[in-house]
Amino acid sequence: MSNRTRAALIVLSLLATLALIAPWISPYSPDFLDWQHQASPPGFEASHWLGTDRLGRDLFARGMQAMRVSLLIGVLASLVSVCIGVLWGATAGYLGGRVDSLMMRFVDIVYALPYVFIVIILSTLFARGSIAALFIAIGAVGWLTMARIVRGQTLSLRRREFIDAAIASGVRAPQILWRHIVPNVAGAVIAYATLTIPQMILFESFLSFLGLGVQEPFASLGSLINEGAQEMESSAWMLLVPATLLTVLLVAFNLLGDGLRASLESRDE
């Protein structure tokens, strides 16, 4: 593990821990309106460490709540996309032939569509602000690359002796997929899933920025950035706080994913 990967991991764990314990260390709840300190800049005055927004809500508390939402949606949406992707790719790769070409042709077609649009359409499907619906919508379009990776791996696994042995001893296809293929593609899946999480976080923030994602009173990093951008002339911190949080989160996840992928590739060689 390189130093960069290790640093990314440490930063991520710190951020995640901070986001999780924030309700106990922050003196304010995310939706508390502090009438005495509206739009006050960051500082130690009245314990609004990162300042407040125009309504007097504490930006630290809100930022951490937004991080929890982002992390939750990022991880859950990645899980959804990993599950679909692995099942789809492993089935296509293992069965081969017509089924394979049909399944992958479908992936190709959906791939060709600009998937920001699919997410926007899907997000209209559900009642606005439903977080569960949001991650299903985002996860449902994120599985395509995963399916391709898993299919490629499965194609090469299928020719290995232990699969022949399993077939010869009468194990049925679903069992082979689950017991022999899936565990063997797990490494690549985990490395790629780490890179999927920041994409999902980005998607969620993007939708929330446009007003199609997480709704008030909940905050998301995207909706905080949107609110901050409207106030930036007078109070730049309202933009800078969520923008910095999102940037650090995304960079750290990407470094971690790159590092994992690199160490996986060097092991394969």
Would you tell me which residues interact with another protein (CB under 8 A)?
Answer: 109-110, 112-114, 116-118, 120-127, 198, 202, 205-206, 209-212, 222, 225-226, 228-229, 232-233, 236, 239, 243, 246-247, 250-251, 254
Min dist CB 161 to another protein, Å, is: 33
Min dist CB 220 to another protein, Å, is: 12
Residue closer to another protein by CB (options 117, 178) is: 117
Min dist CB 102 to another protein, Å, is: 13
Amino acid symbol at 125: L
Residue closer to another protein by CB (options 82, 255) is: 255
Min dist CB 209 to another protein, Å, is: 5
Q: Is the peptide bond before 198 cis (omega within 30 degrees of 0)?
A: no
Chain Cα centroid distance, residue 68:
12
Residue closer to another protein by CB (options 109, 168) is: 109
Other beta carbons within 10 angstroms of residue 100's beta carbon come to 18
Supply the angle between the helices 59-95 and 237-268 in degrees, to the nearest 10: 30
Min dist CB 109 to another protein, Å, is: 5
Residue closer to another protein by CB (options 119, 193) is: 119
Residue 193 token pair: 């899933």
Residue 245, CA distances (Å) to 44, 237, 238 in order: 19, 12, 12
Residue closer to another protein by CB (options 34, 231) is: 231
* Pairwise CA distance, residues 194 & 189, whole Å: 9
Residue 234: helix, strand or coil by DSSP? coil
